């Protein structure tokens, strides 16, 4: 990197290096006109601005030098800047046009402070009313750059005039100033609406462009006004291609919003967009094509847009090729079939000089290609990979992974490609993307397993990333023992124990032990290897080796048989790791051992906001602890209350549900705690009135609409002072393990005492009072825990097919498919798996996978298949498997009644 860049502060002496002429004559050395330029000297020269007889040429040179200094990142101190600014203002005396133009620029560059502005405003105001158009235009631009809100009202009248000035430069200057001013002074600029409207009708193309931009900015929050603006302009003629592009954007925005509202798919402006495809300006055509592809259109409506994009793929202009391939790439994500016609053109772009274009072409082809072209494609990509950067490579690797899942028969060539890429140079993110892809392919395509594992083994022989080595060893331990010849992997694993750092060695010991535990024929040999690990220099490695040797040889009895020992060593936790981590953090060392069965098994979904930001999602551990520790805290708190300590294990606690309106005197919310045979209602109460103290606070619960529940005890709150929340509990008994439902009516009862806010003392006498709370219900989903499974297909197939219950439901007309999917997920209260809760845009059908644990510890899995028939008429097929067929039926009942 050049010196002057490295520091960010581009000092002039460094910058001003001898200029080497690159022509034939190398000896001819020229110097930059700014060679040896120094801030102090230039500031000295600026004194020439004060001369009574101005030397215009000299002044212009000094201003150029000042501009150069500013552009090189040189900063002026406050005093220097003020001095230069005052000197520059003197130059208004000169009537030389060239110098005046430089003065305008210089003032903008110096951006004087508000107390200095006053010096130039009168000169600028004078220029703004000058007869010379160009003085007016420039004065407007300078003024708008430097003034504040109060001054703006003074010159508003002139600006409004300028907007409709017959000179297009003056009008544009005022309009662009308006766009900038609208950010800080939207109300003022809104008043210019009529003038701007007139400017939009201007014959000058640029005035129309700037006018349209400003008018839209003024009206952007008024949907109807934007719609009117668009419909009037789409009928008329817009002269400037730039304005036409804006109009296309606004039109598509109006269409999007109106189709969302009316739901009838009416597209009144579609013809305008389609006609724009035949516009003479390329920019307009591409914009129209892009907007059409972003809309929910039929294949027939899409075709013309794709055709023009295809034409631009072979354009001689790189920008057009880029724009076209970028748009097609987006289309290929949702509608790959629509793009297949362009495959030939896309293939020729793979050798494009511009790597961005080539990468986009490849990833598009990977989405649209068919099975027969895969091998050829892979071959071409291999040549290409060596000369692109890591971030492009990751995009390609991810595209290859999806392609392989689409054409599983082609796994061989794709795995080879991935493994070759592993051997090439590359950073961690790139290698991780490849390893993740291979792991996914192995998990999804059974035939790819052995070959894929061997590729991974070869990689860890020479892997510089500890994280990846450990990940692969763990994966190898799970998958390797179940292959036809597990012994072939042992060499690779044991090599790690000899050659690697402590973290990898420890992982390798665990992997060895898994092979020993699962493959009887290997067990004696594994024992020998593990015994060698007992002499490792690292505690962790030795500890692991000792543990595995003892448990696998049966010296330390765990459970009843060998299976228990294996489960103990290698079984997966049935609690989410984030929950376990949170519980361990809150565990205080004591006589009482840590009990893993008390850790919550519920997966709390991340707040929607975080989900919506792909790539920026914080690590799960960082997001999860807060809610998890609340669940843990509930268990701890409830079991410390004697009345509830005999209720057993807490199955689930709901989110708090508000029972009062916001900002009322008392704020009450309820949390439903579900046990096998009981429920506990926790009312969180807060007193928001400083002049009151509440005592003997109880909640009277009327459960007459919840027949299966009977109240057994209640725990009132002795006192509820201002701003110090407390809890009232009411417990109900219900039939053991039965998901009883019902409605609960609530009334808050208490004694109010007046409080003297100055002393904080309460009156002795109080008045009894009550406060009506909202009702709430216990519903079936309260008995369902959101518990994820890592591999839904395996889990589904491992469940008894006899327990499966299938039925079909008509959901009627819904807002969208995604809305219907979410509604069913909410009714069931189950955990969506494998990202299937996300419905792709424009999808006509969708399958959603859910998993959960129903009360009584019954695992349940649900497959929901949705389909659209007619305009937004949603039909659904629901298949349930569970450990208990009755629960399968129950889930159908929940959906039927929901």
Which residue reads 């189950």 in tokens?
A: 830
What does the DSSP assignment read for 169-238? HHHHHHHHHHHHHHHH-HHHHHTTHHHHHHHHT-SSHHHHHHHHHHHHHHHTT-HHHHHHHHHHHHHS--
Backbone angles phi, psi at 775, to 5 degrees: -85, 160
Among 36, 41, 71, 376, binds other proteins (CB under 8 A): 71
**If you compute the radius of gyration of the chain from its CA atoms, what whole number of angstroms results?**
37
How far apart are alpha carbons 605 and 622 in whole angstroms? 13
Closest to 91 in 3D by CA, of 81, 78, 106: 106
Which residue reads 């080539």 in tokens?
A: 358
Candidates 67-75, 651-659, 742-750, 764-772; binding stretch for other proteins (CB under 8 A): 67-75
Beta bridge partners of 778: 742
Regarding 340 and contact with other proteins (CB under 8 A), the answer is no
Burial class (CB in 10 A: 0-12, 13-18, 19+), 874: buried
Regarding 33 and contact with other proteins (CB under 8 A), the answer is yes
Do 685 and 679 touch, CB atoms closer than 8 A? Answer: no
Among 81, 116, 125, 180, binds other proteins (CB under 8 A): 180
Regarding 15 and contact with other proteins (CB under 8 A), the answer is yes
Alpha carbon 38 to its chain centroid, in Å, reads 48
Scan residues 343-372 and list those touching other proteins (CB under 8 A): 353-357
- The smaller minimum CB distance to other proteins, of residues 136 and 604, is found at 136
Minimum distance from CB of 338 to other proteins (Å)? 22
Binding to other proteins by CB under 8 A, coded x per residue (else -) over 225-254, reads -----------------x--xx--x-----
Regarding 256 and contact with other proteins (CB under 8 A), the answer is no
Regarding 323 and contact with other proteins (CB under 8 A), the answer is yes
Regarding 172 and contact with other proteins (CB under 8 A), the answer is yes
Regarding 167 and contact with other proteins (CB under 8 A), the answer is yes
Regarding 92 and contact with other proteins (CB under 8 A), the answer is no
Among 282, 345, 500, 536, binds other proteins (CB under 8 A): 282
Among 140, 206, 439, 508, binds other proteins (CB under 8 A): 206
Regarding 394 and contact with other proteins (CB under 8 A), the answer is no
The CA distances from residue 499 to 431, 463, 495, 502, 537, in Å, are 21, 11, 6, 10, 13
Backbone angles phi, psi at 95, to 5 degrees: -105, 10
**SS3 of residue 687 by DSSP:** strand
Among 39, 210, 846, 892, binds other proteins (CB under 8 A): 210
Regarding 178 and contact with other proteins (CB under 8 A), the answer is no
How far apart are alpha carbons 635 and 274 in whole angstroms? 62
The DSSP letter of residue 572 is P
283-296 burial code (b ≥16 CB/10 A, e <16) = bbbbbbbbbbbbbe
- The smaller minimum CB distance to other proteins, of residues 24 and 765, is found at 24
Regarding 73 and contact with other proteins (CB under 8 A), the answer is yes
Regarding 168 and contact with other proteins (CB under 8 A), the answer is yes
Regarding 122 and contact with other proteins (CB under 8 A), the answer is no
- The smaller minimum CB distance to other proteins, of residues 356 and 822, is found at 356
Regarding 72 and contact with other proteins (CB under 8 A), the answer is yes
Paired tokens of 479:
């998958």
Regarding 4 and contact with other proteins (CB under 8 A), the answer is yes
Minimum distance from CB of 317 to other proteins (Å)? 7
**SS3 of residue 500 by DSSP:** coil
Scan residues 567-606 and list those touching other proteins (CB under 8 A): none
Regarding 11 and contact with other proteins (CB under 8 A), the answer is no
How far apart are alpha carbons 570 and 541 in whole angstroms? 17
Among 11, 125, 283, 350, binds other proteins (CB under 8 A): 283
Regarding 623 and contact with other proteins (CB under 8 A), the answer is no
Regarding 566 and contact with other proteins (CB under 8 A), the answer is no
Scan residues 410-449 and list those touching other proteins (CB under 8 A): none
Do 358 and 350 touch, CB atoms closer than 8 A? Answer: yes
Minimum distance from CB of 752 to other proteins (Å)? 54
Regarding 326 and contact with other proteins (CB under 8 A), the answer is yes
Regarding 67 and contact with other proteins (CB under 8 A), the answer is yes
Among 69, 121, 128, 138, binds other proteins (CB under 8 A): 138
Scan residues 34-53 and list those touching other proteins (CB under 8 A): 34
**Residue 800 CB contacts under 8 Å (≥ 6 apart), including other chains:** 881, 883
Paired tokens of 699:
């909640």
Regarding 13 and contact with other proteins (CB under 8 A), the answer is no
- The smaller minimum CB distance to other proteins, of residues 4 and 310, is found at 4
The four Cα atoms 664, 666, 672, 678 give a dihedral, to 10 degrees, of: -140
- The smaller minimum CB distance to other proteins, of residues 168 and 486, is found at 168
Residue 858, Cβ neighbours under 10 Å: how many? 20
How far apart are alpha carbons 311 and 286 in whole angstroms? 11
Which residue reads 């991974």 in tokens?
A: 456
Candidates 32-40, 454-462, 555-563, 568-576; binding stretch for other proteins (CB under 8 A): 32-40
Among 56, 119, 319, 547, binds other proteins (CB under 8 A): 319
Handedness of CA 204, 210, 213, 216 (dihedral sign): negative
Paired tokens of 367:
């989405």
Count, residues near other proteins per rule CB under 8 A:
69
How far apart are alpha carbons 494 and 487 in whole angstroms? 11
Backbone angles phi, psi at 197, to 5 degrees: -55, -40
> Which chain residues interact with other proteins by CB under 8 A?
1-2, 4-5, 8, 10, 15, 17, 19, 21-22, 30, 32-34, 60-61, 63-64, 67-68, 71-73, 97-98, 100-102, 105, 108, 132-135, 138, 141, 145, 167-169, 172-173, 176, 179-180, 206, 210, 213, 242, 245-246, 249, 282-283, 286-287, 317-320, 322-323, 326, 353-357
């Amino acid at each position: 990197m050049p010196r002057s860049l490295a520091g960010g502060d581009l000092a002039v002496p460094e910058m001003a290096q001898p200029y080497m002429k690159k022509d034939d004559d190398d000896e001819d050395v020229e110097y930059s006109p700014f060679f040896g330029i120094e801030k102090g000297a230039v500031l000295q020269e600026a004194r020439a601005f004060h001369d009574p007889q101005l030397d215009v040429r000299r002044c212009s040179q000094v201003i150029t030098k000042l501009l150069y200094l500013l552009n090189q990142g040189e900063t002026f101190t406050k005093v220097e800047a003020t001095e230069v600014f005052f000197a520059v203002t003197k130059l208004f005396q000169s009537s030389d046009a060239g110098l005046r133009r430089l003065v305008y620029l210089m003032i903008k560059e110096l951006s004087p402070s508000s107390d200095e502005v006053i010096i130039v405003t009168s000169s600028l105001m004078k220029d703004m009313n000058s007869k010379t158009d160009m003085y007016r235009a420039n004065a407007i631009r300078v003024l708008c750059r430097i003034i504040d809100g109060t001054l703006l009202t003074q010159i508003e009248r002139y600006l409004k005039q300028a907007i409709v000035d017959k000179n297009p430069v003056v009008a544009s200057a005022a309009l662009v100033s308006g766009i900038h001013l609208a950010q800080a002074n939207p109300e003022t600029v809104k008043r210019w609406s009529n003038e701007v409207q007139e400017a939009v009708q201007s014959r000058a193309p640029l005035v129309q462009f700037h006018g349209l931009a400003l008018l839209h900015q003024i009206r952007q929050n008024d949907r109807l006004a934007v719609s009117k603006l668009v419909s009037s302009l789409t009928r008329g003629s817009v002269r400037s291609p730039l304005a036409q592009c804006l109009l296309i954007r606004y039109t598509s925005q109006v269409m999007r919003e109106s189709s969302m509202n009316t739901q009838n798919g009416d597209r009144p402006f579609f013809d305008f967009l389609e006609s724009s495809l035949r516009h003479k300006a390329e920019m307009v055509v591409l914009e129209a094509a892009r907007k059409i592809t972003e809309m929910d259109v039929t294949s027939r409506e899409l075709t013309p847009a794709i055709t023009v994009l295809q034409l631009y793929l072979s354009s001689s202009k790189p920008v057009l090729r880029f724009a076209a391939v970028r748009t097609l790439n987006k289309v290929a994500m949702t509608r790959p079939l629509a793009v297949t016609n362009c495959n030939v053109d896309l293939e020729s772009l793979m050798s494009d000089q511009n790597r961005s274009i080539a990468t986009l072409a490849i990833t598009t082809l990977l989405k649209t290609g068919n099975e027969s072209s895969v091998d050829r494609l892979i071959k071409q990509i291999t040549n290409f990979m060596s000369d692109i950067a890591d971030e492009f490579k990751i995009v390609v690797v991810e595209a290859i992974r999806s392609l392989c899942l689409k054409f599983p028969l082609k796994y061989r060539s794709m795995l080879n490609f991935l493994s070759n890429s592993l051997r090439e140079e590359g950073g961690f993110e790139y290698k991780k993307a490849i390893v993740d892809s291979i792991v996914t392919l192995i998990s999804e395509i059974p035939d790819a397993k052995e070959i894929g594992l061997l590729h991974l083994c070869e990689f860890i022989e020479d892997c510089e990333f500890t994280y990846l080595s450990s990940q692969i060893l763990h994966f190898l331990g799970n998958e390797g023992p179940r292959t036809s010849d597990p012994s072939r992997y042992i060499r690779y694993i044991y090599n790690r124990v000899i050659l690697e750092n402590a973290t990898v060695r420890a992982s390798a010991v665990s992997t060895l032990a898994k092979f020993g535990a699962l493959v009887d024929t290997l067990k004696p040999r594994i024992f020998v290897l593990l015994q060698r690990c007992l002499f490792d220099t690292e505690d962790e490695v030795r500890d692991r080796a000792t543990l595995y040797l003892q448990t696998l040889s049966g010296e330390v009895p765990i459970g009843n048989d060998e299976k228990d020992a294996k489960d103990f060593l290698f079984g997966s936790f049935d609690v989410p790791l984030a929950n376990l981590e949170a519980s361990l953090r809150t565990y205080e060392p004591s006589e009482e051992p840590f009990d893993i069965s008390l850790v919550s098994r519920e997966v709390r979904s991340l707040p929607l906001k975080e989900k919506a930001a792909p790539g920026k999602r914080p690590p799960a551990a960082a997001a999860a602890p807060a809610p998890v520790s609340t669940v843990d805290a509930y268990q701890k708190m409830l079991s410390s209350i004697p009345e509830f300590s005999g209720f057993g294990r807490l199955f689930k606690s709901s989110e708090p549900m508000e029972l009062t309106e916001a900002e009322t005197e008392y704020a009450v919310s309820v949390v439903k705690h579900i046990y096998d045979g009981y429920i506990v209602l926790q009312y969180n109460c807060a007193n928001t009135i400083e002049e009151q103290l509440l005592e003997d606070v109880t909640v009277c619960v009327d459960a007459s609409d919840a027949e299966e529940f009977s109240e057994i005890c209640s725990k009132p709150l002795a006192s509820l002072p201002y701003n110090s929340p407390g809890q009232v509990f009411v417990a109900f008994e219900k039939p053991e393990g039965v998901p009883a439902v019902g409605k609960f009516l609530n009334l808050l009862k208490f004694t109010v005492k007046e409080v003297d806010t100055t002393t904080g003392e309460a009156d002795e006498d109080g008045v009894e009072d009550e406060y009506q709370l909202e009702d709430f219900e216990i519903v079936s989903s309260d008995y369902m825990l959101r518990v994820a499974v890592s591999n839904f297909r395996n889990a589904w197939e491992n469940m008894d097919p006899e327990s499966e219950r299938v039925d079909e439901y008509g959901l009627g007309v819904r807002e969208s498919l995604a809305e219907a999917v979410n509604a069913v997920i909410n009714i069931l209260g189950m955990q969506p798996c494998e990202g299937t809760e996300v419905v792709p845009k424009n999808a006509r059908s969708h399958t959603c996978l859910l998993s959960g644990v129903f009360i009584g510890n019954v695992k349940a899995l649900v497959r929901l298949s949705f389909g659209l028939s007619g305009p937004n008429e949603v039909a659904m097929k629901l298949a349930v498997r569970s450990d208990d067929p009755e629960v399968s039926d129950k889930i159908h009942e929940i959906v039927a009644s929901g």
